[in-house]
């Protein structure tokens, strides 16, 4: 029997309860679980995305507009880590505030379709690549991968020889306070971490979480999502001795040409 979440209120009931349909600031508390609004079968390969967005304008006025764009498949949540003040090149200061967009669990294909529609509209309202505090977190179903695959994924992401490609072509940051690297060796204790602030967070009960990506409302968003999906598949299909960057590039090159297009462009730049 598939493992599903507890039956929630209907989506309309929950939205009315929270006042989201009429509120001009439909941003929920940080601890709100998106599964209060949507059911999910975590035995399947599903992805959930948290995109942190911000503006230097009055965020209250933008929240309702953002919510109207994403409300069919996501919610807005408060996140205190997003607010920041940054110094401009001319010596002036810019103050940012924002929230995170949290999608319901969806297949990879449905995530791509949702964001292809939403991102161009969101990019006109909010930023994500700046400020630097904004990130992109990608969850995937824990039960959809084996412990061995997850171990290989940890090895690949934390391999120092992969740092340049991951940082410069994909994530645009590496080994930060909120997404640390660690020394990894495949073995029985590899999945025992209790630290959620690692590049691949394995502590949640139902999901694993990529935390390494800087936020984006452009093509880099899709490169990050494609990288997450591709590395999972790569680690599923290859032995531990082949979990290297050259083998990853060779594996990617054998896939259908239309699969992972933004990731392919960045690999091509790396290979020049």
The predicted structure's pLDDT at residue 91: 82
What are the per-10-residue average pLDDT scores of the chain (272 residues)? 37 48 76 85 92 90 93 92 80 88 97 98 95 94 95 95 96 93 77 89 94 97 98 97 97 95 94 73
pLDDT (0 to 100) of residue 12: 39
Q: What is the 3-state secondary structure (H, E, C) of the chain?
A: CCCECCCCCCHHHHHHHHCCCCCCCCCECCCCCHHHCCCCECCCCCEEEEEEEEECCCHHHHHHHHHHHHCCCEEEEECCCCCEEEECCCCCEEEEEEEEEEECCECHHHHHHHHHHHHHHHCCCCECCCCCCCEEEEEEEHHHCCHHHHHHHHHHHHCHHHHHHHHHHHHCCCCECCEECCCCCCCCCCCCCCCCCECEECCCCCEEEEEEEECCCCHHHHHHHHHHHHHHHHHHHCCHHHCCHHHHHHHHHCCCCCCCHHHHHHHHHHHC
Residue 16: the pLDDT is 42
What gap in Å lies between CA 218 and CA 79, rounded to an integer? 21
103 phi, psi to nearest 5 deg:
-85, 160
Q: What is the pTM of this model?
A: 0.89
All structural domains of the chain with their residue ranges: 11-145+157-217
Do the Cβ atoms of 136 and 179 come closer than 8 Å? no
């Amino acid at each position: 029997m598939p493992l599903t979440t507890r039956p929630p209120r209907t989506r309309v009931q929950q939205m009315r309860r929270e006042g989201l349909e009429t509120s001009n600031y439909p941003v929920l508390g940080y601890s709100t679980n998106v599964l209060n609004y949507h059911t999910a079968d975590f035995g399947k390969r599903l992805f959930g995305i948290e995109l942190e967005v911000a503006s230097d304008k009055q965020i209250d006025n933008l929240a309702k507009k953002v919510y109207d764009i994403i409300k069919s498949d996501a919610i807005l949540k408060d996140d205190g880590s997003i607010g920041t003040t940054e110094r401009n090149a001319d010596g002036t200061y810019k103050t940012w505030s924002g929230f995170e967009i949290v999608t319901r669990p969806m297949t990879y294909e449905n995530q791509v379709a949702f964001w292809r529609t939403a991102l161009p509209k969101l990019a006109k309202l909010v930023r994500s690549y700046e400020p630097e505090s904004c990130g992109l977190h990608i969850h995937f179903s824990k039960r959809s991968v084996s412990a061995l695959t997850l171990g290989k994924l940890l090895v690949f992401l934390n391999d120092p020889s992969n740092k340049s490609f991951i940082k410069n072509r994909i994530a645009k940051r590496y080994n930060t306070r909120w997404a640390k690297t660690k020394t990894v060796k495949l073995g029985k204790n590899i999945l025992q971490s209790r630290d959620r602030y690692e590049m691949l967070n394995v502590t949640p009960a139902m999901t694993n979480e990529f935390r390494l990506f800087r936020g984006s409302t452009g093509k880099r968003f899709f490169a990050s999502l494609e990288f997450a999906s591709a590395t999972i598949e790569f680690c599923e299909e290859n032995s531990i001795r082949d979990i290297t960057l050259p083998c990853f590039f060779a594996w990617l090159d054998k896939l259908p040409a239309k699969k992972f297009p933004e990731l392919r462009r960045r690999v091509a730049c790396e290979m020049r």
